[in-house]
Amino acid sequence: MSISLTWHGHATFSLNINGTRIVVDPFFAGNNPSAKTPVDAVAADFILQTHGHGDHIADTVALARRTGATVIANFEICNWIGAKGHEKVHAMNTGGGYNFPFGRVKMTPALHSSGLPDGSYGGDPGGYLVTAVDKTIYIAGDTALFSDMALIGRAGIDVAILPVGDNFTMGPEDSVLALAYLQPKMVVPGHYNTWPPIAIDVNAWAEKVRQETAVTPLILAVDEPYLL
């Protein structure tokens, strides 16, 4: 019974929950400047989609088609993926939860936007709480800081995956404030250093987390699995 977490660069992560492979926001080498692995080499049973922006969805349809993975996303994104010929989708919406074979997934709000790459309406952006094997993982998605993170934190979060790169999402300062609301045991940074507008000193961020919170920061190296 185990969960491993891998960062693939930018905001792309994967979870392996007792052998079930869940890819979050597929954006791989060729499209993603900070990824090492091309999408053709990725395995997936489920895809968890936070919103419709290209830096999260560029490789979703290709990965879903080749692997036959079920795409979990909001209703509008599921319709868009269905129209591209991939019917294995599970539509959710903000605030809803569902028990999948690997664990429970609850869609949380995010303060962001969600237009699809071709200009289609992508519904509301979101994040996810994933609860499996006695662990709860919060994937914030692209978001600003919001005080209702305190409600999300009531789930009892083991690991929070937060955007920290600033400009398009929370930056280092606000992501540290978010920890006061979320109260996770550990925090993993994402959505930083992919391009110049989101370049930050991630080690300085980690030091700030250590100084100002009781949360353990965990900076992952690309493609190196971490056993939770």
Residues 171-210 binding Mn ion (CB under 5 A) are none
* Binding flag, residue 166, Mn ion (CB under 5 A): no
CB 11 within 8 A of CB 55: yes
- Nearer to Mn ion by Cβ, of 17 and 145: the residue is 145
To which H or E segment does residue 179 belong?
A: helix 172-182
Report whether 70 contacts 44 (CB < 8 A): no
The smaller minimum CB distance to Ni ion, of residues 111 and 180, is found at 111
Selection from 115, 218, 122, 125 nearest residue 164 by Cα: 218
Q: Is 142 in the site for Ni ion (CB under 5 A)?
A: yes
Instruction: Return the number of the residue (53 or 86) whose C-beta is nearest Ni ion.
Output: 53
- Residues 91-130 as x/- pattern, contact with Ni ion by CB under 5 A: ----------------------------------------
What percentage of the chain's residues is helix, strand, coil (to nearest 5)? Answer: 25, 30, 45
The reply on whether position 142 binds Mn ion by CB under 5 A is yes
User: Can residue 53 be called a binding residue for Ni ion (CB under 5 A)?
Assistant: yes
User: Which does residue 8 touch among Ni ion, Mn ion, none (CB within 5 to 8 A, set by kind)?
Assistant: none
Supply the DSSP symbol for 224: -
- Of these partners, Mn ion, Ni ion, none, which one is at the site of residue 59 (CB under 5 to 8 Å by kind)? none
Nearest approach, Cβ of residue 77 and Mn ion (Å) = 14
Which of residues 52 and 217 has its CB atom nearest to Ni ion in the complex? 52
Size of the site for Ni ion (CB under 5 A): 2
Residue in 38, 42, 94 with CA at minimum distance from that of residue 64? 42
Taking the C-alpha atoms of residue 2 and residue 4, their distance in angstroms, rounded to an integer, is 7
Question: Contact, 191 vs 198, CB < 8 A?
Answer: yes
**Which tokens hold the place of 75?**
């209703």
Contact region for Ni ion (CB under 5 A) — 91-99, 142-150, 178-186, 194-202?
Answer: 142-150
Per-residue contact flags (x/-) with Mn ion for residues 39 to 78, judged by CB under 5 A: --------------x-x-----------------------
Q: Please name every residue paired with 48 in a beta bridge, in sequence order, or none if there are none.
A: 24, 72
| CB closer to Mn ion out of 49 and 131 | 49
Strands 13-17 and 3-7: antiparallel
Q: Is 166 in the site for Ni ion (CB under 5 A)?
A: no
Backbone angles phi, psi at 64, to 5 degrees: -65, -45
Question: Could you tell me if 142 and 168 are in contact, meaning their C-beta atoms sit under 8 angstroms apart?
Answer: yes
Cβ proximity to Mn ion, 80 vs 102, nearer residue:
80
Which positions lie near Ni ion, rule CB under 5 A? 53, 142
Which positions lie near Mn ion, rule CB under 5 A? 53, 55, 142
